[in-house]
């Protein structure tokens, strides 16, 4: 290869890097503009570098192809501009399609050959081309006058841009001061500890299943009130936890889809308790309830125990489509071992953090939120040995693997139980437990091929909606009581506030579980995830589940189950019970209309 050819290819690489980086900055800026609670800006240097490398690769490929095809323009700036466009156009199309699918089409972009698919795809191509033209013009301008130094000048400025993005992200990330812990509540009020265990099925607990999986939680249940028929209002984390914290249905609080934050307009139990003089603190391990999604509302201190993200990414950088692609490639093709710290921080890490917090003697009364991730996939071998089963590696395992997956899941539940039991001992040792309202529940359950699938978030069947609920009242009031009435995680906010002595709040939709309010007439749940748009209504012994006809999970558009004789929801009775379906569909429509009318705008 001659010196001129090498110089041109090098110029194409540098110009492609510029095109990719410009596109990355645009995506990062869009994420910042739509994330009002963003508190760090590590996504900018990550975007500049990651997209720059991708653009450089595209620029190199374009250079080789064009040079081999005989296109050798005399003007260096024209060559650079074309390669900047080559680095920008395909990346722009992919990024644009990703965000449209996520933000507009509920993760289900229209089929390419449909009218909508053709229209949106054509629009994306045109928009990407326009961005590429603008990017090419900018690169040509930055390259300066026509000379052999144009490409080196671009390279130097690109490196300066990378350094500036990194320094700027650090400069503009605010330093969070140590919280000045104080509580101002008057009178004797109980502490409140709310424990949410991600992905914990109701039948995963020992006393509920007959298995010896959770001896410490079983012991806790014997000195508490256990609710056998507790239901979540959604089957994935963000909408479900938002419901727990706000006492609102998902359609009301609006944190439903993957890019939805918890709106500022809602009021959380942390805010109610803070305003009543409680010190409020949270320790969470799931990015879906991290500050980037605004779940820190009302907390005097909120600790997101982040995993070790790949490639040195920050919390904000994980929202870039480039990070998601790189992570997928890393895990699918370059994985040797699975360890929890690449996904979350486990119950042992949580115990250590909370124990240190307790040792610092936080002011009382306090409200403490703990969100654990251990039962969530990946399902790890315990003790950790680098082996496990992860959805990102195998989204649809064979049905024969169900027993092994459940074995690993149960082992992870037992590990959580051991670590949580040690934390409970710390509360007892410090004399805190008997003056604390302790609530233990889950955001949703998990499926192990009961209905032909896995994981969670894509159905509203019982294994995904039924959750454990244990409430230990101060002094152990009501110890050993088992209740079988219908309860919802929607009820936790009014129950907690009532037990803390706060007056009833009309904006909360649930009921105080220790009042004389009757159980709900029906249970309503909803889900919008991965292209599946689902609703369910549980009324008397019937349960209706409706789904969008083209849902990727392949669920029937209408399913009716008689839970009295078919608690596992095996037999769809919709075709033979048209009158029941019509009556329940009417109730479901009325519920949706009512809850939608209350939605926070």
pLDDT score, position 600: 66
pLDDT digits (tens, 9 = 90+) for 69-107: 777 676 777 877 887 888 888 898 999 999 988 888 877
CB 533 within 8 Å of CB 239: no
Is residue 125 within a helix (H) or strand (E), and if so which, with residue range?
helix 115-143
Between 169 and 116, the higher pLDDT residue: 116
Which helix (H) or strand (E) segment holds residue 441: the answer is strand 436-442
Cis peptide before 383 (omega within 30 of 0): yes
Instruction: Tell me what pLDDT residue 146 has.
Output: 60
Helix (H, G, I), strand (E, B) or coil at 119: helix
Which region among 247-261, 318-332, 370-384 has the lowest average model confidence (pLDDT)? 318-332
- Per-residue pLDDT at 164: 72
* Closest to 247 (Cα-Cα) out of 567, 590, 32, 497: 497
Backbone angles phi, psi at 506, to 5 degrees: -60, -25
pTM of the model: 0.90
CA distance 378 to 227: 28
Q: Rounded distance, CA 51 to CA 20, Å?
A: 5
How many helices, marked H, and strands, marked E, lie in the chain? 16, 19
Walk me through the domains of the chain, giving residue ranges and CATH numbers: 3-172 (no CATH), 191-307+343-519 (3.40.720.10)
Is the pLDDT reported for residue 140 higher than 90? no
Q: What tens digit of pLDDT does each residue of 282-308 get?
A: 999 999 999 999 999 999 999 999 999
Min mean pLDDT across 95-99, 143-147, 171-175, 539-543 is at 171-175
Question: Considering only CA atoms, which of 46, 58, 65 is closest in space to residue 94?
Answer: 58
According to DSSP, the β-strands at 481-483 and 225-227 are parallel
**505: burial class by Cβ within 10 Å (0-12, 13-18, 19+)?**
middle
CA distance 247 to 596: 15
Query: Each residue of 383-430: pLDDT tens digit?
Result: 999 999 999 888 999 999 999 999 999 999 999 999 999 999 999 999
- Supply φ then ψ for residue 380, to 5 degrees: -100, 150
- Neighbour tally for 549: CB within 10 Å: 10
Q: Give whole-number Cα distances, 88 to 134, 328, 385, 404, in Å.
A: 10, 22, 42, 45
Phi, psi of 528, deg, nearest 5: -135, 100
Is the model more confident about 417 or about 208?
417
At 539 the pLDDT is 94
Helices (H), 258-319: 269-275
Q: 6: part of which helix (H) or strand (E)?
A: helix 3-33
Per-residue pLDDT band at 235 (split at 50, 70, 90): very high
Tell whether the model's pLDDT for residue 513 goes beyond 80: yes
Q: For 360-380, what is the mean pLDDT?
A: 96
Separation between Cα atoms, residue 583 and residue 560, nearest integer Å: 12
Summary mean pLDDT of the chain: 89
Average the pLDDT over each of 115-129, 464-478, 543-557 and give the range with the smallest value. Answer: 115-129
Angle at 444 between CA 451 and CA 196, to 5 degrees: 155
Give the burial string for 294-309 (b: 16+ CB within 10 Å, else e).
bbbbbbbbbbbbbbeb
Q: To the nearest 10°, the Cα dihedral for 574, 235, 331, 370?
A: -160
Pick the closest to residue 83 from 106, 60, 100, 103 (CA basis): 60
Instruction: Say how many C-beta atoms besides its own lie within 10 A of residue 511's C-beta.
Output: 21
Task: Give the distance from CA 568 to its chain's centroid.
Answer: 28
**What was the pLDDT predicted at 7?**
62
Q: Average pLDDT of 482-486? A: 95
Share of the chain above pLDDT 70, in %: 93
pLDDT in the model for residue 5 = 60
Supply the pLDDT for residue 409.
97
217 phi-psi bin (left φ>0, alpha ψ -120 to 50, beta other): alpha
- Residue 344, classed as helix, strand or coil, is coil
User: Starting at the edge strand that comes first in sequence, how are the strands of the sheet with 466-467 ordered?
Assistant: 466-467, 230-231, 487-488
Instruction: Determine the pLDDT at residue 85.
Output: 85
- Classify residue 199 as left (phi > 0), alpha (psi -120 to 50) or beta: left
């Amino acid at each position: 290869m001659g010196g001129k050819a090498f110089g041109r290819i090098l110029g194409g690489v540098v110009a492609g890097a510029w095109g990719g980086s410009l596109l990355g900055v645009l995506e990062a800026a869009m994420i910042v503009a739509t994330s009002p609670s963003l508190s760090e800006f590590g996504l900018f240097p990550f975007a500049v570098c990651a997209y720059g490398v991708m653009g450089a690769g595209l620029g190199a490929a374009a250079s080789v192809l064009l040079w081999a095809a005989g296109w050798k323009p005399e003007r260096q700036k024209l060559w650079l501009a074309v390669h900047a466009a080559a680095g920008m156009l395909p990346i722009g199309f992919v990024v644009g399609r990703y965000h449209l699918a996520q933000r507009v089409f509920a993760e289900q972009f229209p089929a390419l050959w449909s009218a909508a698919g053709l229209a949106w795809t054509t629009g994306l191509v045109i928009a990407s081309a326009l961005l590429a033209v603008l990017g090419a013009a900018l690169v040509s301008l930055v390259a300066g006058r026509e000379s052999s130094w144009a490409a080196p000048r671009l390279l130097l400025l690109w490196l300066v841009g990378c350094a500036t993005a990194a320094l700027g992200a650090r400069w503009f990330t605010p330093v969070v001061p140590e919280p000045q812990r104080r509580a101002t509540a008057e009178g004797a009020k109980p502490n409140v500890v709310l424990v949410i265990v991600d992905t914990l099925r109701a039948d995963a607990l020992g006393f509920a299943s007959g298995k010896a999986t959770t001896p410490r939680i079983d012991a806790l249940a014997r000195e508490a009130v256990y609710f056998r028929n507790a239901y979540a209002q959604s089957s994935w984390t963000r909408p479900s936890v938002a419901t727990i914290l706000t006492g609102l249905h998902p359609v009301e609080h609006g944190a439903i889809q993957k890019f939805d934050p918890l709106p500022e307009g809602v009021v959380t139990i942390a805010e109610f308790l803070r305003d009543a003089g409680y010190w409020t603190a949270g320790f969470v391990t799931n990015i879906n309830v991290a500050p980037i999604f605004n779940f820190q509302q009302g907390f005097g201190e909120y600790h997101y125990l982040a995993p070790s993200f790949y490639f040195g990414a920050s919390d904000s950088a994980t929202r870039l489509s480039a990070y998601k692609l790189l992570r997928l490639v890393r895990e699918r093709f370059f994985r040797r071992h699975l360890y929890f710290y690449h996904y979350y921080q486990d119950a042992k890490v949580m115990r250590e953090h909370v124990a240190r917090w307790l040792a610092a003697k936080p002011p009382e009364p306090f409200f403490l939120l703990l969100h654990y991730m251990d039962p969530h996939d990946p399902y790890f071998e315990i003790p950790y040995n680098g082996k496990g089963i992860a959805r990102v590696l195998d989204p649809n395992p064979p049905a024969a693997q169900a027993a092994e997956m459940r074995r690993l899941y149960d082992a992870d539940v037992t590990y959580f139980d051991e670590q949580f039991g040690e934390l409970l001992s710390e509360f007892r040792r410090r004399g805190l437990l008997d003056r604390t309202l302790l609530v233990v529940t889950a955001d949703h359950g998990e499926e192990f091929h009961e209905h032909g699938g896995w994981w969670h978030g894509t159905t509203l069947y019982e294994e995904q909606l039924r959750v454990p609920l244990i409430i230990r009242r101060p002094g152990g009031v009501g110890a050993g009581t088992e209740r079988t009435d219908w309860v919802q995680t929607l009820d936790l906010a009014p129950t907690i506030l009532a037990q803390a002595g706060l007056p009833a709040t009309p904006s909360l939709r649930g009921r105080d579980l220790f009042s004389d309010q009757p159980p709900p007439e029906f249970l309503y749940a909803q889900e919008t995830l991965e292209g599946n748009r689902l609703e369910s209504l549980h009324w008397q012994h019937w349960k209706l589940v409706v789904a969008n006809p083209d849902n990727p999970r392949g669920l029937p558009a209408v399913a009716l189950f008689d839970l009295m004789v078919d608690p596992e929801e095996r037999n769809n009775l919709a075709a033979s019970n048209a009158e029941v379906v019509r009556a329940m569909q009417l109730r479901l429509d009325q519920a949706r209309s009512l809850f939608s009318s209350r939605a926070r705008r």
